[in-house]
Chain A
Amino acid sequence: MLAITAIAIIAMRNILSVIMLGGIYSLISATLFVVLDAVDVAFTEAAVGAGISTVLFLSALGITGKHQVLARKNHLVPIFVVLVTGAGLIYSTSDMPAFGDPNAPAHNHVAPRYIEQSGEEIGIPNMVTSVLASYRGFDTLGEVAVVFTALIAVLLLLGLNRGSRQDKS
């Protein structure tokens, strides 16, 4: 399903339909995350990917145009880069531990401590929240700072204060 949507996105030339398909792609990935028992991630994907980013893309579309301008350039170099990267990624999956392997390195580093101790140390049932907000509090602070910086960048780029500044000069 994801592959079909991705191919349809590549084939489309109307940006409006591409944005809609992008929302559908996010919704399908959200269901995939639910199947993998990662409900917090699925929640975020459905809300941000399928909801907000679609709306923001649409409002950006209102500023720009509706149709893609085809670039008549050499496509060989990008295709080569994509193929090499894709082949490298697929090759490296052969070294990865099997899906759900309890001995995988990711499950043996700090995860057992979170699972065993977070109930006593933090005392809240949702372990994802414990890790996100307490054990990895610095990370989350950085993420919030990134979101804030994004706002500053958008306001600077779109220049909402441009009119008032011109009045003064």
Chain B
Amino acid sequence: MSVRKNPILRETSHLLIPAILLFALYVQFHGDYGPGGGFQAGVIFASGIILYALLHGTKRAEKVISLNLAKTFAAIGLLLYAGIGVFGILLGGNYLDYNVLTQNPVHGQHWGILIIELGVGITVAAVIISIFYAFAKFKK
């Protein structure tokens, strides 16, 4: 409880959390050009939310992202990834073949990678947030 009342920690977290979330988005969408990608971005995004939950309690954090919302997004991310594979079949390619997504195969690869990385990021972030909630809300 004393952690939550510490003004230094609270104010520093208010400065840090937006930067953490922004950095997560940078890692997510810059994964094609530098180190990073969906897994790392999801973890960083989740750590921003978890920092908020640690300092303000899970009740206030659940007003930002509730457990049910996080569970739904965990499924949406996986479905987005698998759905792109099925979409490729519908367009006449193999499963998870991005070449057919657009006219130009290289462009198709760009789109495919961008979308599946987004799916990975959504699932990883949502799963980690949900697992944290599950632990934090557990009562013996």
- Does A4 lie at the interface of the complex (its beta carbon under 8 Å from any beta carbon of B)? no
Stretch at the interface among A15-23, A41-49, A76-84: A41-49
User: Could you tell me if B135 and A59 are in contact, using CB atoms closer than 8 angstroms?
Assistant: yes
User: Could you tell me if A145 and B35 are in contact, using CB atoms closer than 8 angstroms?
Assistant: no
Q: Which residues of A15-62 are within 8 A (CB) of B?
A: 39-40, 42-44, 47-48, 51-52, 55-56, 59-60, 62
In the complex, chain A residues whose CB is within 8 Å of the CB of B127: 147-148, 150-151
User: Could you tell me if B113 and A122 are in contact, using CB atoms closer than 8 angstroms?
Assistant: yes
Tell me which of A126, A133, A141, A158 contacts B138 (CB under 8 A). Answer: A158
Interface residues of B (CB under 8 A from A): 27, 31-37, 39-40, 43-44, 46-47, 50, 54, 67, 71, 74-75, 77-78, 81-82, 85, 96, 98, 105-106, 109-110, 112-113, 116-117, 119-120, 123-124, 126-128, 130-132, 134-138, 140
A–B Cβ pairs within 8 angstroms, 19 of them: A39-B35, A40-B35, A47-B47, A48-B43, A51-B47, A55-B47, A55-B50, A63-B138, A124-B32, A132-B37, A133-B117, A137-B116, A140-B120, A141-B96, A144-B81, A147-B123, A151-B126, A154-B134, A158-B135
